[in-house]
């Protein structure tokens, strides 16, 4: 398995009660989408949040966040965290709120 099911469950629990959420295997991990737009995901060793370029600096200011770079180049508007940072309820909640705000502003797919 390319991602930790325990981390995926943390994300599911965080998104419980949010309508329009689906799961899709992507990027070698599991992504969570709101009305077809990516919110967050888990991959080997951590997680990623799509916070958007406008909220990226705010998300990166939270301890444990780093720019997401699968290819060696940062992907604008996305951050990643390791498993330890994701396990912190407060930080995870802040990143999730930023990611949900971004996804909510996009048209459904």
The domain that contains 19 carries what CATH number?
A: 3.90.1150.30
Please report the pLDDT score of residue 27 as a whole number: 74
Q: Is residue 19 part of a domain?
A: yes
Q: What is the pLDDT of residues 60-94, one digit of tens each?
A: 999 999 999 877 888 899 999 999 999 999 999 99
Give the CA count within 13 Å in the CB-facing half-sphere of 83: 10
Of the candidates 37, 31, 22, the residue with the CA atom closest to the CA atom of residue 3:
31
C-alpha pair distances (Å), 1 with each of 30, 42, 47, 77, 95: 10, 11, 15, 26, 24
Q: How many CB atoms lie within 10 A of CB 108?
A: 9
In a domain, 21, yes or no: yes
85 within some domain: yes
Asked, for residue 109, whether it belongs to a domain, the answer is no
The phi, psi pair for 67, rounded to 5°, reads: -60, 140
Question: How many domains in the chain?
Answer: 1
Identify the domain containing residue 15 by its residue range.
5-104
The values of phi and psi at residue 22, to 5°, are: -130, 165
What was the pLDDT predicted at 1? 52
Helices marked H in the chain: 5-15, 56-60, 83-86, 89-104
The whole model's pTM is what?
0.94
The 10s digit of each residue's pLDDT in 14-49 is 999 999 999 999 878 999 999 999 999 999 889 999
């Amino acid at each position: 398995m390319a991602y930790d099911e325990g981390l995926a469950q943390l994300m599911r629990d965080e998104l419980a009660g949010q309508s329009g959420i689906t799961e899709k295997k992507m990027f070698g991990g599991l992504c969570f989408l709101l009305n077809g737009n990516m919110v967050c995901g888990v991959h080997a060793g951590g997680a990623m949040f799509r916070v958007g370029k406008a909220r990226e600096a705010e998300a990166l200011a939270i301890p444990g966040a780093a720019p997401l770079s699968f290819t060696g180049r940062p992907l604008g508007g996305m951050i990643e965290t390791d498993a330890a940072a994701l396990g912190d309820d407060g930080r995870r909640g802040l990143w999730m709120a930023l990611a949900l705000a971004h996804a909510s502003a996009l048209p459904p797919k």
